[in-house]
Amino acid sequence: MLLRDVVTLKMKGRITCPKCGQHIIAEINKDVSAFTLDCPNCNHHFKAKTSQVDLSDIHSDTPIDVESDCYWEEHGEPRKTILSSIKPRTDKPMIASLLLFSVIIIAVLSAFFPTLFLQAPITAASLAGANGDLVLIIDNTSVVDSDQIMLSIDQENITFASTNNSFTASSLQLGEHKVTIKLSSDNSSSQTVTKQVYILPFDLSTYTIKITDGDPLTLEDSTAQLGWITSILIILSGVTLIAAIMCGKRKYSDVALIGSIIGMATIGIYFIGLILSIIAFWLILKSRDEFDDGKKGKSF
SS3 at position 72: strand
Q: Checking DSSP bridges between strand 70-74 and strand 149-153, what pairing results, if any?
A: unpaired
The rounded distance, in Å, linking the Cα atoms of 178 and 191 is 17
Closest CA to 205 of 175, 181, 182, 230: 175
DSSP state of 289: G
- The CATH code of the domain at 130-225 is 2.60.40
Q: How far apart are CA 10 and CA 7, in angstroms?
A: 9
For the CA atoms of 117, 118, 121, 122, the dihedral, rounded to the nearest 10 degrees, stands at: -160
Strand duo 132-140 + 205-211: pairing = parallel
Q: How far is CA 126 from CA 195, 201, 272, 280, in A?
A: 22, 10, 19, 29
For 56, the 3-state DSSP assignment is helix
DSSP lists the bridge partners of residue 177 as: 197
Q: Phi/psi at 272 (nearest 5 deg)?
A: -65, -45
- Select from 184, 246, 194 the least CA-distant residue to 218: 194
In one-letter notation, the amino acid at residue 106 is I
**Residue 260: which residues within 8 A CB-CB, separation 6 or more?**
96, 100, 240, 243, 277, 280, 281, 284
The domains of the chain are located at 13-88, 92-111+229-290, 130-225
User: To 5 degrees, how large is the angle CA 208–CA 125–CA 222?
Assistant: 10
pLDDT of amino acid 240: 94
The pLDDT value given to residue 14 = 75
What is the per-residue pLDDT for 87? 62
Handedness of CA 250, 253, 258, 263 (dihedral sign): positive
Reported pTM: 0.54
CA 117 to the chain's CA centroid: 13
Write the burial class of residue 121 (CB in 10 Å: 0-12 exposed, 13-18 middle, 19+ buried). Answer: middle
The torsion defined by the Cα of 172, 174, 177 and 182, in degrees rounded to 10, comes to 30
Burial tier of 125 (Cβ tally within 10 Å: 0-12, 13-18, 19+): middle
Determine the pLDDT at residue 218: 74
| pLDDT averages per 10-residue partition of the chain, 300 residues | 50 77 75 77 77 44 44 48 61 94 91 77 79 81 72 85 81 84 69 81 73 70 66 91 93 92 86 92 92 58
Pair 284, 100: CB distance under 8 Å: no
